Structure 1
C-alpha cells in the first residue's frame, strides 16, 4: 500500500474474539470436524478439506510446518503428528502475528485457557465471560429462584472486575428477536422458577438456558457493567436458526442500550454482515466484527471484507479469528485477514480512491487499534497480566 521502497512492518493483531485450543493431537476425523460448522460427517466419499476453509488451511499452514503449500491432507496430518501438538501450536500461533487474545471461555472440552494460549503465542490474553455458561454454573448450585437471581447478579458483577467483556449466544438459544427491554421482576422470578424446575428433571436439553426472559435479563445484567458485550449474529452450527440471527433484529435492543453507552460488538454477521456494518454506522455504541466469515469464505474473504467496509465507519470494525480447537484456525484467520485487507486497500489506493497513508492508518485500526480502544487495552497489558487503569 505504500508504494516502492522497503516494506513497512505489518501491524500486530488483537484477536478480540477467540476460543481455547485442543491440548492433544486430534485424529483425522476430529481434525476435519473443525473445518465445518456442521455437526455431521462430510457426505460419503467427500472431505471437509474440500471447502474454502479446507483449501485455506492447505495453502497457509503447510509452509509453517516445513511442507509445500497445497500438499495433500494426509501428508499434512502426518507432519502434524511428527512434530507433536505442542510444537504445531507454537509454530502456528506465532506465525499468526497476534499479540493479544480475548478468549471466550464458555465452550466445553479439554481446551487451553487464556494463560496457556498466551504463553504458546508469546503474547497476552484476557477472558471474555460467556453469560449463558455463567448462569448455568450458578444454577447448578442454586435451590430457589431468589437465590439463583441474587447469586447470578453477584457473579456478573464479580466477573466484570477482571474480564475484558461479556458474550451472549442468545442467537443460538432463542434467537435475536427478543423483547428489547429488561424483564419485569415478577416475570423474571417466574422464568427462573420454571427453568430451575425443568433442570431438576435431569434433562440435559432443559439444563441449557434458552428462556427468552432469562436471556434478556442476562443481556441487561452485562449492559449495566458497561463492559463491551459481544453478541453472536449470523451463521454458526445447526443449533441455531439462521433467519433469527440477523443482527437487524437487534435494532430495538440497540436503541434501548444507547443511553447506557455500553459497547455492543456484533460478531461474525455473515451472510448479514452488511446489516451489521449499517448498524455500526448509525449507532455510536455498535461495532462490527469480521471474524469467522473471512475464515470460512477463504479465497472470497476479500469480497466479504470489502462489503463490511462499504458503510461501516473504519473506527468501528474489529478483527477476530473465532478460532477454536485447532491452531490452524488462528493462522488461517490471521493470514487470510491480512491478505484480504492488503489486497482490498491496495486496490483502492491504486484506483486513486484512497491515499496510501490513509490505507495504512485504517489497516492499523481494524487490525488492533479499534479493539484496544473499545476494550480499554492500551497500557493495561504487560506480558500475560492485566490491571484496570
Structure 2
C-alpha cells in the first residue's frame, strides 16, 4: 500500500541528532535502546528497526531500498555526515519539531543546536524543557529548594511549548495523589545535597517536582510530557506502566494541565484507556512505531481501539541519528495508511473520515494541544 498522503507532520516529541561522522559500530548502537552489546555474530541492524532503516532511508542517500547494512554505511561515509544528515532530515517531511533538550550528546558526540537542526531539517523547531535537568541545576539551600525549583522551572519553561518528566526512569510512575509535605521536601533536599546532588532519584523530590510542574504549567498553559513504557536498561519496565499514574491523573485533573503519555508500549492499551477516561490525558506511540517494523499498523490499531482520535499524537522520539526521523515518519505514514485502508475496506469509515483522522493525528492535534 502507498504511504499515507498527509501534509507535513508535527513531531511533538523528539531530540536532536549527531552531525559528526560516526564509526559504524557507534552508528549501529543508536538503533537500539540498549547500551549492552548485541548477540554474538549480529549487529543492531538485525532487528525490525534495522530492517526499517534499510527500507526507508537508502533512497534519501541515492540507494535503492534494502541494501546490506555494509552497503548503506559505505554510502553514508561516502556522502559525509553533514550531507547525509541534511538529506535524511529533509526527507522526513516534517513541518515542526518539538525537541526535548534534556539530552545533549549521543555516542559521545554533541547534538546539533536547535538553530542548526532547524536549518538541516527545513522545519520549525520549538523547545521542550526536561524537569529533572532543571531541578538538578538548582543550587539553593535545602530550606529554599522548593521555591528555587519553582522559580527555575518557571524561567526555563517561559519560552518552551511543554515540559517533560523522566520520573519513570528515576523511580517509576506510581506517583501519590497527595503533594509531598514541605518539611519532607526540605529534609529530602538536604539529604540530596549532602550526597553531592547529581542525578535526582529521591521519590519525595521527584513527586514535589512533578507537582511543581503542574502549578507552573497551569500558569503558563503548557502540557507535561511523561515517558512511559519501554526504554533503555536504566528503566524497570513494570514501573513505567502508565496505569500507575491513575491516582495522580485524578488529583491533577482540576488544574486542567494536559498530561501527554509518550511511547507507552507495551502498555499502549492502558494509555489509550487513560486518554479516553480523562480529559487531560493524551498519548502517542512514539518510537514504538519505528521499533514495531511491519507490525506498526497492528499496534496503531490496538491504540485506536480506545483512544479518541483527538487524543493521539504523532512523534518519532528520534535521537542521535537522522535516520530515526525518516523511519519514524515513514512508519507512521505506512502504518496509519495500512490501518485506515483496512477500516475503509471493512466499511468502518468513509474516505472523508479516514482523511480527517489522519490529519488530526499527523499534525492538527499537536497544533491545538501546544498552541502552535
Q: TM-score range by the shorter chain?
A: over 0.9
SS in 1 for 2:44: coil
Query: Aligned pair 1:311/2:306, yes or no?
Result: yes
Shift of 1:137: 1.5
Match of 2:341 in 1: 346
Instruction: Identify the range of structure 1 (153-162 vs 240-249) with the bigger mean alpha-carbon deviation.
Output: 153-162
* Corresponding position of 1:179: 176
User: After TM superposition, where is structure 1 displaced by more than 2 Å over at least 4 residues in a row?
Assistant: 7-10, 146-151
2:176 match: secondary structure: coil
In 2, the alpha carbon distance for the partners of 1:359 and 1:114 equals: 34
In 1, Cα distance between the equivalents of 2:93 and 2:152?
A: 34
The CA deviation at 1:163 is 0.6
For residues 330-341 of structure 1, the aligned pairs below 5 Å read: 330-341=325-336
Deviation at 1:9, TM superposition (A): 5.3
After TM superposition, the structure 1 = structure 2 runs for residues 151-300 of structure 1, keeping only pairs within 5 Å, are 151-199=148-196, 207-224=198-215, 225-226=217-218, 227-300=222-295
| Structure 2 segments unaligned to the other structure (5+ residues) | none
Higher alpha-carbon deviation: 107-116 or 317-326: 107-116
Counterparts in 2 of 1:9 and 1:336: CA distance versus 1, 3 Å? closer
| Alpha carbons 2:4, 2:333 under 8 Å: kept | no
Give 1:1-389 correspondences, 5 Å limit. Answer: 10-109=6-105, 110-138=110-138, 141-142=139-140, 144-199=141-196, 207-224=198-215, 225-226=217-218, 227-377=222-372
Once the two structures are superposed, residues 259-300 of structure 1 have per-residue CA deviations (whole angstroms, 9 ceiling, x without a partner) of: 000000000000000000000001001001111111111111
> 2:248, 2:192 → 1: CA distance?
24
Q: Secondary structure at the match of 2:234?
A: coil
CA–CA distance in 1 between the matches of 2:234 and 2:16?
Answer: 20
In the alignment, is the contact (CA less than 8 A) between 1:181 and 1:216 conserved in 2?
A: no
- Please list every run of 5 or more consecutive structure 1 residues that lacks an aligned counterpart in the other structure: 201-206, 378-389
CA distance in 2, matches of 1:329, 1:76: 15
Q: Separation in 2 of the partners of 1:64 and 1:123?
A: 17
CA RMSD of aligned residues (A): 1.5
Q: TM-score, normalised by structure 2?
A: 0.95
Is the 8 Å Cα contact of residues 164 and 375 (structure 1) preserved in structure 2?
Answer: yes
